[in-house]
Amino acid sequence: MDAARFREVLSAVPTSVVVVTAVDRGEPVGMAVGTFLSVSLDPPLVGFLPAASSTTFPRIRHADAFCANVLTVNQQHVSRAFATRGADKFAGLSWRPAPVTGSPVLEGVAAWIDCRITRLHEAGDHFIVIGEVTDLAAAPGERPLVFHRSRYMDSAPEIQASPDSVRAGE
Ligand SMILES: Cc1cc2nc3c(=O)[nH]c(=O)nc-3n(C[C@H](O)[C@H](O)[C@H](O)COP(=O)(O)O)c2cc1C
């Protein structure tokens, strides 16, 4: 498999931009991911896929918990900070501890989902991490940030896809 072709084709799939946070030995840690997913309603499970090479994921794993912070269109700079290895990722950011696990809830996010890690699977050069949801909330009206073809995008307002509007566009 040609790596460049794999990346190019898969970049056609738009993703959310989520910062997964935890507190490890008293220190906040986090990483940006495009692989956050809703897994199960009963029991309530979500997941994400960290690279085996991530230096942050071992710390999230040690914390045994994480909070998934869904970034808004105004938080591209937050994504960039949390995608930079070795950076002081929390510099200049406000956050509060999630009620159950204490993992950081970043200020101004579109939604946050607080979890305890329940399963970890190996998958090629990544892990699949599953967490049981302990608490969650969303800020209605916030537009989530989208990543598509290696660029940040705005999530456009709802499209009006009725048969009438299709006909009107002919
Ligand atoms: C939009 C976006 C999506 C990303 N998705 C993932 C992902 O799903 N899994 C992953 O391991 N890294 C992903 N990254 C890269 C990590 O954020 C980055 O490599 C990492 O946080 C920095 O290294 P560290 O984990 O060693 O601190 C993504 C980066 C961006 C900007």
DSSP code string of 36-64:
-EEEETTTTEEEE--BTT-SSHHHHHHHT
Domains (range + CATH), the chain? 3-168 (2.30.110.10)
Tell me if 119 sits within 8 A of 49, measured CB to CB: no
**Residues near ligand 1 with C-beta < 6 Å?**
17, 31-35, 49-51, 54-56, 79, 82-83, 85, 147
Per-residue pLDDT tens, the chain, 170 aa: give them: 899 999 999 999 999 999 999 999 999 999 999 999 999 999 999 999 999 999 999 999 999 999 999 999 999 999 999 999 988 999 999 999 999 999 999 999 999 999 999 999 999 999 999 999 999 999 998 999 999 999 999 998 888 766 665 554 44
**127 burial via Cβ count (<10 Å: 0-12, 13-18, 19+):** buried
Determine the length of the chain.
170
Best mutation site among 54, 61, 80 for ligand 1 pocket (most ligand atoms within 8 Å of CB) = 54
Helix, strand or coil, per DSSP, at residue 126: strand
DSSP state letter for 159: P
pTM attached to this predicted model? 0.94
